[in-house]
């Protein structure tokens, strides 16, 4: 039986996240939310100060730092394994200084190549490199793939691995993410999920973030075409989690930690009988 995926709980310290925009913008609220997620079974807390929803514009560097550093400091002091969700080298450096142990870079080093040097200089840091083609305000202009989407994503991730290794980051510190929803339409997201093995075949642990994303809302759209609301997509996400767990992915990035933990615990119990 494959090990159950790690559960990465999302803490968005932003005013405009698609899933919970503004709810945890205040540092104390974000810290309290992170502690709740830990209590519900999160293995990692992913702290982000920049929304990457389609169409989002970037915050100033100072804004992103002010949002994430106090939250990381508090949760790391609690003993949590903290990840910083950032594309900026300066934010990654400050987050590591504050106690983060994972850098979750949705650009895979393309937005700011200096982030690779920051991670290379922190030997205990895990680096998550996601498949990415452009910033959020333009990424949906880049959904054309010259071949099956999983094969092309795998090829482009392999190119990022070359750059990551060249920066001095050891293989055992690298995690890959196929980037569901980033420069991908709904059909492409489903094709990637169905062929997640092609990403795993690159040879690194794989993190997947499907939680609450638009393609689930599209799948569950009403007769009038209206997307299923964000907060009503969790049962569909549970089915995705079950498939990912059986595929043996390294981790899942989720908003509802308790629901994710319930799904994974149930799968573990069933497989224990096999």
Let me know how long the chain is.
274
| Three-state SS at 130 | strand
Per-residue pLDDT of 228-243, as tens digits, reads 999 899 999 999 999 9
In the chain, the percentage of residues whose pLDDT exceeds 90 is 87
Q: Measured between alpha carbons, how far is 155 from 250 in angstroms, rounded to an integer?
A: 20
Give the per-residue pLDDT at 137: 83
- Give yes or no: 101 in active site: no
Per-residue pLDDT of 122-170, as tens digits, reads 999 999 999 999 988 889 899 999 999 999 999 999 999 999 999 999 9
Range of the domain at 46: 6-272
Q: Which of 173, 212, 233, 253 is catalytic?
A: 253
Q: Does any domain span residue 136?
A: yes
* Of the candidates 175, 186, 184, 183, the residue with the CA atom closest to the CA atom of residue 233: 186
Residue 185 sits in a domain whose CATH number is: 3.20.20.20
Per-residue pLDDT of 64-98, as tens digits, reads 999 999 999 999 999 999 999 999 999 999 999 99
For the chain, the distance separating the N- and C-terminal CA atoms, rounded to the nearest angstrom, is 9
Q: Does any domain span residue 159?
A: yes
Q: Does any domain span residue 1?
A: no
Number of domains in the chain: 1
Q: Which of 160, 195, 212, 213 is catalytic?
A: 213
Q: Does any domain span residue 137?
A: yes
- Give yes or no: 184 in active site: no
Q: Does any domain span residue 73?
A: yes
Q: Does any domain span residue 149?
A: yes
């Amino acid at each position: 039986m494959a090990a159950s995926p790690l559960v990465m709980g999302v803490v968005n310290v932003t005013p405009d996240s698609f899933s919970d925009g503004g709810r945890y913008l205040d540092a104390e609220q974000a810290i309290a939310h992170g502690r709740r997620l830990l209590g519900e079974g999160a293995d990692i807390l992913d702290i982000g100060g920049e929304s990457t929803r389609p169409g989002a514009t970037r915050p100033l560097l100072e804004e992103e730092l002010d949002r994430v550093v106090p939250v990381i400091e508090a949760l790391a002091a609690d003993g949590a394994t903290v990840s910083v969700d950032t594309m900026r080298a300066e934010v990654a450096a400050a987050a590591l200084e504050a106690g983060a142990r994972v850098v979750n870079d949705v650009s895979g080093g393309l937005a700011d190549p200096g982030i690779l040097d920051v991670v290379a200089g922190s030997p205990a840091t895990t680096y998550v490199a996601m498949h990415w083609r452009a910033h959020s305000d333009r990424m949906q202009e880049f959904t054309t793939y010259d071949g099956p989407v999983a094969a092309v994503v795998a090829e482009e991730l392999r190119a990022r691995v070359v750059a990551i290794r060249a920066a001095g980051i050891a293989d055992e510190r690298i995690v890959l993410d196929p980037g569901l929803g980033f420069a991908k339409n709904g059909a492409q997201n489903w094709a990637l999920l169905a062929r997640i093995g092609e990403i795993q075949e690159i040879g690194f642990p794989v993190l997947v973030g499907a939680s609450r994303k638009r393609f689930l809302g599209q799948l569950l759209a009403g007769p009038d075409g209206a997307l299923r609301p964000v907060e009503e997509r969790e049962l569909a996400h549970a089915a995705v989690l079950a498939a990912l767990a059986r595929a043996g992915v390294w981790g899942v990035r989720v908003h509802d930690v308790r629901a994710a933990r319930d799904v994974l615990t149930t799968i573990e119990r069933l497989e224990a009988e096999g």
